[in-house]
Structure 1
Amino acid sequence: MTASDPIPVDALGQRHAALGRDARIVCLVPSITELLCDLGLIDQLVGRTGFCIHPREALRAVPKVGGTKDVKLERIRELAPTHVIVNIDENPRAVAEALADFVPNVVVTHPCVPEDNHALYRLMGHLFACAPAAAALSDSLTAALAEARAVGAALPAERVLYLIWREPWMTVSRDTYIAATLAAVGWHTEPAAAGERYPAFDWQAPWLAGVSRVLLSTEPYRFQDKHVAEVAALCGRPVQLIDGEWTSWYGSRAIAGLRELARLRRALAA
């Protein structure tokens, strides 16, 4: 960032204190916890959720403050963070508002497409004095996006059903980060229009006629190999198990995720 660059803001347009190496960070977003570690900030991370699992060994010593939804506010108060990082999709608004009563900087994030990771990297680099590392990640993301889009341009587009839950069966709408990530490699999610971001459906839905492939995500429902035959019998389409972190984790994992999706798309096409 140069002197002429605008000061980065969070997803709500808020500016926060850039405390650099004096910051004490609690992160309630698993993928951003990993990003902070990859930016060299593990020593400043004073709290994380039980779902913040990467990098596993490095995080063992970082205190847990509950889950992404059931946050232990008093435990966070004890940790006296200068910054708490939250996400619009993953953390309840009431939690963020309660945190704002005693945390100086509640940093709100909301990546909607893979490209939004550039702004996320830049914000973390600004707040925590790691701009060179953040810029390096941006360069890697640019390369990964180019690789993914090259695959998407080279192969015929496919309409896919991306399953995230079973009983009830649930998928994703096209206005989600997941759908935008899949679209980078030419996988376009169905249904094309949905009233909810994560709609439930039944196997008689008319829009299923346009689906050519089903992707079973390993999260939030833990789809496994044993579910492949079950879903294939229900829909009569090719079914592929897929690592949910490739599509739904932003931050630094988005780079590897895009590359893995490109590899898988090429492999299935072959």
Structure 2
Amino acid sequence: MQGPRRIVCLTEEPTETLYGLGEQDRIVGISGFTVRPAIARREKPKVSAFTSAKVGEILKLKPDFVVGFSDIQADIAAELIRAGIEVWIANHRSVEGILDYIRRLGALVGVAGKADAWADTLQRGLEAIEEEASKLPRRPRVYFEEWDEPLITGIRWVAELTRIAGGDDVFPERAAEPLAKQRILEDPGEVARRAPDIILGSWCGKKFRPEKVAARPGWNAIPAVRDGELHEIKSPLILQPGPAALTDGVRAIAARIQAWGRGQG
């Protein structure tokens, strides 16, 4: 076996990626928020949340490699590095970044060829969705809501997948911001002014409540609210920058946009 043999995954996407590559035997610990693949929750110890981790428990697992995501995990990474552990914190937030992440993680564990082939397959899948979307009568305007209190708009890879699926994110300038705090909408009325045709909600693990969204002051005039186009995209499908977003996540968005398009025909 080439590469690290005992890997701890601090977030879900490295777990899903390693399982997808057939390298799950290397994983000795995972995030408690892991949903995909379901088997990982049953057979791997849970040693971290997102902003915190059981560093002592991680060290007991004697990992030779720890993989996490984003600046939010910088403190966890620093503590592990000080303990002599090799850590890789990825910080990708685009579709291209996710594909590159799969290639890089595969290379780091010694299966670069397998990872390249998988990334190529995922890319072709996105191209097929984009080709189907090109047949829509028109492109809907889409508002993606990542959280409701306060309102947080969608991150970059979500906006890009929405575009691939045939829609246009109504807050493209916000999607370019990497941090959630930079995507907080100070004025909910701005959504009404941008008049989305479809509202997609993925409240980071909390159930999306379309009736609460529809009842917001001034939102009754929004085309999406008027036409009942308020839909949930399950968080595990879209809010992790890994394989799920490029498969089930984008397909869930595309299904809503295609259904809307049929109503326009």
> Any unmatched runs of 5+ in structure 2?
none
User: In the aligned structure 1, how far is the partner of 2:105 from the partner of 2:62?
Assistant: 19
1:126-168 Cα offsets, whole Å, 9 max, x none, are 1212234313311221122102222343322222221122233
How much has 1:103 moved relative to structure 2? 4.1
Q: Which has the higher helix share?
A: 2
Q: Does 1:124 align with 2:105?
A: yes
Q: Which residue of 1 aligns with 2:255?
A: 263
Q: Does 1:182 align with 2:174?
A: no
Alignment of 1:76-225 (within 5 A): 76-88=58-70, 91-155=72-136, 156-172=138-154, 176-194=156-174, 196-205=181-190, 208-217=193-202, 219-224=203-208
1:112/1:66 CA distance change after superposition, 3 Å: closer
Cα distance in 2 between the residues matched to 1:251 and 1:191:
22
Measured after TM superposition, the shift of residue 267 of structure 1 is 2.0
- Matched residue of 2:45: which SS? coil
2:99 and 2:148 mapped to 1: Cα distance? 33
Pairwise CA distance, 1:93:
1.5
CA contact (8 A) 1:151 1:262 kept: no
RMSD: 2.4
Q: Distance in 2 between matches of 1:103 and 1:151?
A: 49
- In the alignment, which of 17, 30, 55 is matched to residue 12 of structure 2? 30
Q: How far 1:221 sits from its partner (Å)?
A: 4.7
Q: Is the 8 A contact 2:7 2:67 kept in 1?
A: yes
Q: CA deviation at 1:246?
A: 3.3
Q: Structure 1 counterpart of 2:234, which letter?
A: D
Matching residue's letter, 1:252:
P
Aligned letter for 2:74? R
Can you list the C-alpha shifts for 1:184-232, whole angstroms capped at 9, x where unaligned?
Answer: 2232223343475431344323763432221121x415234xx222322
- TM-score of the pair, normalised by structure 1: 0.80
Separation in structure 2 between the aligned mates of residue 50 and residue 202 of structure 1, nearest angstrom = 34
Pick from 44, 63, 66 the counterpart of residue 62 of structure 1: 44
Amino acid at match of 2:68: V
Q: Distance in 2 between matches of 1:32 and 1:190?
A: 30
**1:252 maps onto 2:233 in alignment:** no
Q: Is the 8 A contact 1:246 1:261 kept in 2?
A: no
Residues 52/165 of structure 1: CA separation in 2 closer, same or farther (3 Å cut): same
Specify the code of the residue in structure 2 equivalent to 1:32: P
**Which amino acid is 2:189 matched to?**
Q
Distance in 2 of aligned mates of 1:58 and 1:246: 16
Q: Secondary structure at the match of 1:162?
A: strand
Q: More displaced, 148-157 or 106-115?
A: 148-157
1: CA distance, partners of 2:53 / 2:4: 24
Give distance in 1, aligned partners of 2:158 and 2:231. 16
Other-structure match for 2:230: 239
TM-score with structure 2 setting the length: 0.82
- In the alignment, the residues of structure 2 paired with residue 117 and residue 192 of structure 1 have an alpha-carbon distance, to the nearest angstrom, of 19
SS in 2 for 1:264: helix
Match of 1:8 in 2: none
Q: Count the aligned residue pairs.
A: 246
Q: Is the 8 A contact 2:16 2:36 kept in 1?
A: yes
Distance 1:221-1:21 versus aligned 2 partners, 3 A rule: closer
Gaps of 5+ in 1: 1-18
Query: Matched residues in 1 for 2:238 and 2:131: separation?
Result: 17
| 1:7-46 pair list within 5 angstroms | 20=2, 22-46=4-28
Residue by residue over 1:63-113, the C-alpha shift from the partner in whole angstroms, topping out at 9 and shown as x without a partner, is: 111311111111111111111001115x42122222211244211212222
